Amino acid sequence: MKRREFLENGSKLAVFGGLASVFGNALFADSKDIKNTESNNNISQKVIKLASNDSKKIESKSDFSASVPSQKLNNGVEMPLVGLGTYDLRGKACIQAMQDALSVGYRLFDTAQMYENENEVGLGLNAGLKTLRIPRERIFVTTKLSNNMSYNECKNEIETRLKNLNLGYIDLLLLHREFESRNEMWRAMQEAHKAGKIRALGISNFSKEVFLDFIKTCEIKPTLNQLETHVFFQRNEYQKILEQHGVKLQAWSPFSKGKNDFFNNKTLESIAKKHNKSVAQVGLNYLANRGVSVIPKTSKIERMKENINIFDFKLDSKDLALIAKLDTGKSSFGWFKG
């Protein structure tokens, strides 16, 4: 589907949602420590209209933000290499984080059915787009289907994602895990993509074996696989396999969520000191330079700036050799087997 046609369909599909979603399950490692810090009742149900229509005039998405390069997915859609993870961001803090992130240059945002924050992500983004006069087409929003479901349930859940986010269309919709009903769920996702509701489809937490089997059955290939990836679990071999099939690797928990004492790692500290950068910046630069997009999460604006300011230095061969030695080849969370 041509870009303009897609946008026109998308704007017809704009739906305005309130605060509805109460989903989620304990399937995911990151669901264990969900903290419901803010009550949803505190959030304004006021509908914020989409940013101005003149945004349709924009033909190219290649410059989402001056400071962040983008990469082209296998269906021609461009996606920024750095975005904001939103797991555990709730309530007013989430709405504020979206606006702060937009203001410092973030254009990619990652949420999921399971995070129970799509409404707040959408409210914050719509408010930020309006205030900062950023066209909708200049941001890229990912959400995920987090439960195993039938084809019909999946069709309904896609509509709920659209309604919750209230951004007219979804840029990237992922299967959160290699669900038993992945084939029928993918069928519903493909249909929504063809109808112009979703710009790109992808998967998450698919092991090599399941990925290789899955792509044989897909009419529309996934654009990326979002996987736990960081210096302690580098995924070089799996990235090669994905890329042989035109599929990108996207890193979740690019800081290993602080596990294995990531932020105090001596090797990373010495490399960071040498380049006058932080440990966080070294960890993200290492991934982005491999063409792995990253979605670090923080609610703090200073850290948002730090985590996006990673393209002004280059790791040398000595640094890369030292980082290679940090790879344990294993998940820091102990639940992903792929």
Residues that bind ligand NAP (CB under 6 A): 28, 30, 85-87, 110, 176, 204-205, 226, 252-258, 263, 280, 295-300, 303, 306-307
Q: How far apart are CA 105 and CA 201, in angstroms?
A: 24
Q: How far is the CB of 7 from ligand NAP (least distance, A)?
A: 26
Q: What angle do CA 281, 282, 286 make, to 5 degrees?
A: 115
List all residues 6 or more positions away from 124 whose beta carbon is below 8 Å from its beta carbon. Answer: 94, 95, 96, 97, 98, 99
- C-beta closer to ligand NAP: residue 87 or 286: 87
On whether the CB atoms of residues 95 and 43 are closer than 8 A, the answer is yes
Q: Active site includes 87?
A: no
Q: How far apart are CA 278 and CA 286, in angstroms?
A: 12
The active-site residue out of 115, 169, 238, 286 is 115
Q: Which residue is nearest to ligand NAP (CB)?
A: 85
Q: How far apart are CA 242 and CA 150, in angstroms?
A: 27
Q: How far is the CB of 156 from ligand NAP (least distance, A)?
A: 22
- C-beta closer to ligand NAP: residue 135 or 296: 296
Q: What angle do CA 178, 214, 28 make, to 5 degrees?
A: 10
Q: How far is the CB of 295 from ligand NAP (least distance, A)?
A: 5
Q: How far is the CB of 56 from ligand NAP (least distance, A)?
A: 29
- Residue 204: which H helix or E strand, with range? strand 198-204
- C-beta closer to ligand NAP: residue 136 or 176: 176
- C-beta closer to ligand NAP: residue 226 or 285: 226
Tell me the catalytic residues.
Answer: 115
